Amino acid sequence: MSSVTGERVSTAGDGFNPTWQRHVAAYSLCAHLLPDQGKVLDLGCGVGHSFHLLAPRETTGFDADPQALEGQARETVVGDMRALPFEDASFQAVLCVQAIEHVPDPERVLGQVRRVLDIDGTAVFVTPNRLTFGQPDEIIDPYHYIEYDPEQLRSLMAAGFRDVRILGIFGSPRQLEFVIGEHRRLDALLRLDPLHLRRFVPRLARQRLYDASLRLARRRVDPAAQEIGVEDFTLAEGPLGQALDLVAVVRR
């Protein structure tokens, strides 16, 4: 299994449970948005923690990290999602959870998804809402290149797909308490750098520092956070400005 980094969710242990459950909930909530049958490309799947929730559909896991794909009980492929090694129209559905924000040129990903998607297929992209995670005016996560608000995500998808619908994943009161706590800790940390010198640190160095701070922060296990489960998340049409994650449902 991959080591704990800010790049992907790989464990529900220690203080990572709320984040883990949020990612699992994305699969659970989005499964009904996909066609009932056919092949599904699980794009940017990481460790494959929740592909079983898409059953009985046949899924193919795709990720850039071969270590993350080790041991998954399904077909997996290593590669760059901006250059998918699949034939045209080879999938009836594509599900991309928390991955589109990890590339600097998402238009290339959308072009590849459109190409490998069946003419009647559906693609679903889940990505953090920049209005509610991190800082709305700054990308804090050094693994993210672009973060979206609802209209930015809609515009991105509309450039490549005819039918675009934007939904939101919302948290329960106890999940939102956890998010508020995370914001407070982040704000306290950012106050130590009032000149924004962090913006001049090379991305790789920021990633290493981010990973170390993340592991340190998650050592503080909160019993209330450990109780958060998939049931603490819901999928709804709005208000999208308050959604934790945005869900783009697109069709060719």
Identify whether 167 is part of a domain.
yes
Q: What is the pTM assigned to this prediction?
A: 0.92
Domain interval for residue 185: 14-251
Domain count, the chain: 1
Q: Token match 């809609």: residue? A: 154
Q: Is residue 81 included in any domain, yes or no?
A: yes
On average, the pLDDT of the chain sits at 91
Per-residue pLDDT band at 186 (split at 50, 70, 90): confident
pLDDT of residue 1: 41
Closest CA to 106 of 133, 81, 143: 81
Amino acid 50: pLDDT: 95
Give the CATH number of the domain where residue 64 resides: 3.40.50.150
Distance separating alpha carbons of residues 49 and 13, to the nearest angstrom: 13
